[in-house]
Amino acid sequence: MISYNGLIGLGFSSDDFKLQDDSDGNGVYIKEWNSDQPQPSVADIEAADTIWQTAYDSQEYARNRATEYPPMEDYLDGIVKGDTAQVDKYIADCLAVKDKYPKG
């Protein structure tokens, strides 16, 4: 399978190629190749895509955490006001999110 992420993973830029899917059941193909480098094989693109997907999947916990962490402004507000209860609550809320979405 030819993929954008696979081609980017091989070091090409989005200016180097144009992908297209004609919705005819044959999937995505390279419509234009603009790079000075030789066009990679489908196997090379698939291997690079697999590496990208593995790295992306391994960071799911971080993406989940980012959406649930309390706003940093709460922490800074507590610091500026000298409100240790607010700072402690912020830290506790962050730790709860980390517990909910552990690494790997």
In whole angstroms, what is the distance from residue 55 CA to residue 40 CA? 21
Mean pLDDT across the stretch 35-44? 97
Residues above pLDDT 70, as percent of the chain: 100
pLDDT for the residue 29: 96
Q: Calculate mean pLDDT across residues 65-78.
A: 97
Residue 13 makes CB contacts below 8 A (sequence gap 6+) with none
Judged against a pLDDT cut of 90, whether residue 104 lies above it is answered with: no
Element (H, E) at 33: strand 28-33
pLDDT for 15-31, tens place per residue? 999 999 999 999 999 99
Mean pLDDT of the chain: 97
- Write down the pTM of the prediction: 0.73
pLDDT for res 18 = 98
Above 80 in pLDDT, residue 67? yes
Pick from 2, 22, 20: which is nearest to 12 by CA?
Answer: 2
Q: Are 36 and 29 in contact (CB under 8 A)?
A: no
Structure tokens at 27: 């999937």
Q: Which letter does DSSP use for residue 18 in this model? A: E
Given pLDDT bands bounded at 50, 70 and 90, which one contains residue 69?
Answer: very high
